[in-house]
Amino acid sequence: MEEIILVDENDNEIGFMEKLEAHQDGGRLHRCFSIFVFNSEGKMLLQKRAKVKYHFGELWANTCCSHPNKGEETDVAVHRKLMQEFGFDTELKEVFTFIYKAYDAGSQLTEHEFDHVFIGTFDGEPKPNPEEIGEYDWVEINWLKKDVQENPSKYSPWFKIALDKVLKHLEK
């Protein structure tokens, strides 16, 4: 049983709950993270979530996202999950946080998350885990911004919220 960390609106730990349960009945606010990886050409590594994901399957999203487990620091969990999903690790920097809530009609589950957003760079060849990732692609940023505007239903809710803020951090 995978327990995740419940938090308040200030990201203070207030308890633990089994992961699936935390997404049921309107969702309980819990800690998560989103990783955005770029290569030296400025392209972003996207993943299409595997069809078997318990919610928001087959949507395009940032490189990797998940939850720290009970007793695990977020800055440790990001590296664990990046290795598990894409088979590589890289230096990651936390750049901002935000809270969001999104309902998935297909699974009837709700994301209610305090999201820690990390950025990194990588120029190697990813080795995607097919249990996690249906497809992946390195995409050009201008194309991506246009596609998200023209085809928003192809992308996960948290990705659409975080994308502009991530790109602003790259400009700094």
User: Strand pairing partners for 13?
Assistant: 7
Ordered structural domains, the chain, with CATH:
3-124+132-165 (3.90.79.10)
Are 2 and 69 in contact, with CB atoms under 8 Å apart?
yes
Catalytic residues: 65, 113
Q: Does the structure show a pLDDT above 90 at 98?
A: yes
- Tokens (6 digits) for 86: 């894409």
Are 61 and 155 in contact, with CB atoms under 8 Å apart?
yes
30-48 confidence digits (pLDDT tens): 999 999 999 999 999 999 8
Are 115 and 97 in contact, with CB atoms under 8 Å apart?
yes
Segment (H or E) for 34: strand 30-38
Enter the pTM of the model.
0.94
User: DSSP of 112-146, one letter per residue?
Assistant: EEEEEEEEEE--S-----TTTEEEEEEE-HHHHHH
In terms of Cα–Cα distance, which of 102, 117, 112, 109 is closest to 153? 102
Count of other CB atoms within 10 angstroms of residue 24: 14
Are 68 and 110 in contact, with CB atoms under 8 Å apart?
no
Count of other CB atoms within 10 angstroms of residue 71: 8
Cα–Cα distances in Å, from 126 out to 4, 63, 64, 92, 93?
27, 10, 12, 16, 19
Alpha-carbon 57 to chain mean position: 13
Lowest mean pLDDT among 16-20, 21-25, 112-116, 128-132: 128-132
133-163 confidence digits (pLDDT tens): 889 999 999 999 999 999 999 998 899 999 9
Average pLDDT over residues 17-24: 93
- Average pLDDT along the chain: 92
